[in-house]
Amino acid sequence: MGNSGTFRLYQNPGWGSAIVEAQLAVYGLPYELVAAGGTSDPAAVQEAMRGVNPVLQVPALILPGGELMTETAAMTLYLADMTGSDTLVPGATAPERAAFLRWLVFLVAAVYPSFTYADVPTRFVPADGADAFQAAVIGHRKVMWRVMETEARNGGWFLGSRFSAIDIYLAVMTHWRPGEAWFQTETPKLWAAGTAAASRPEIAPVMARNFG
Ligand SMILES: N[C@@H](CCC(=O)N[C@@H](CS)C(=O)NCC(=O)O)C(=O)O
């Protein structure tokens, strides 16, 4: 159970937990970090998360009252609600609301699962087909990123002139495969939005801890 008023984030440096850590930092909420395996070996992380998160993934967030939350998008919406802030999530009547929800869900429902499938492909296909399967999934991921690049608005942030949690997702996910060089060349608007988010004073220390 989290201490009174304090969030507890199960995380590994550079993993999707950085998306949530950055948001906690933006809101100035008190949080403590728990190492969730501290390794790039997914099997070890699954073992570390057993008894914490029934789907054995990072991040897991323990709310101050002790309740478990999983799913970065759910945390994104929850933290905006409980702080009453529209800093990261455009409010119900904001002009960017529909686009925000659309691309938030796309990120977690379409792009993010491609890591589940490609990171350890032998969970899903026989070993002799694993390389081809992994290449196909990463190829599909590139298609999805290109779609987002096409949909990114002008103005510096993904939603245009308005910073949002989408830019935090980009700050973190552009460090993942297919890699920073690919994003810089192939999806320059996504890269720029992610880089700008990563440079914000409240987020920069989180990025340094996760990727420095
Ligand atoms: N839908 C989840 C995805 C979480 C996820 O895929 N986390 C990765 C790390 S970034 C993980 O724990 N992978 C290990 C595994 O799936 O076994 C979310 O948005 O929080």
What does the pLDDT look like over 141-167, one tens digit per residue?
999 999 999 999 999 999 999 999 999
**Residue 48 CB less than 6 A away from ligand 1:** no
Q: Determine the pLDDT at residue 37.
A: 84
Nearest ligand 1 atom to the CA of 59 is: 20
Query: Could you tell me the distance, in angstroms and rounded to a whole number, from the CA of residue 5 to the centre of ligand 1?
Result: 26
Q: Determine the pLDDT at residue 4.
A: 67
SS3 content of the chain, % helix, strand, coil (to 5): 55, 10, 35
Q: How many CB atoms lie within 10 A of CB 154?
A: 8
pTM of the model: 0.97
The residues spanned by each domain of the chain are 7-85, 97-199
The pLDDT-based confidence of 43 (bands split at 50, 70, 90) is confident
Could you tell me which CATH class the domain 7-85 is placed in?
Answer: alpha beta
Q: Ligand 1, atom 6: nearest CA belongs to which residue?
A: 116
Res 209 pLDDT > 90: yes
Res 190 pLDDT > 90: yes
**Residue 108 CB less than 6 A away from ligand 1:** yes
Could you tell me which CATH class the domain 97-199 is placed in?
Answer: mainly alpha
Nearest ligand 1 atom to the CA of 73 is: 19
In the three-class reduction of DSSP (H, G, I as helix; E, B as strand; rest coil), residue 35 is classed as: strand
CA angle 97, 111, 88 (to 5 degrees): 30
Q: What are the contacts of 15-19 at 24+ separation with CB within 8 A?
A: 15/58, 15/59, 15/210, 16/58, 16/59, 16/72, 16/112, 16/172, 17/58, 17/59, 18/172, 18/206, 18/207, 18/210, 18/211, 19/59, 19/72, 19/76, 19/165, 19/168, 19/169, 19/172
**Residue 116 CB less than 6 A away from ligand 1:** yes
Strand order, beta sheet including 7-11: 31-35, 7-11, 60-62, 68-70
**Residue 137 CB less than 6 A away from ligand 1:** no
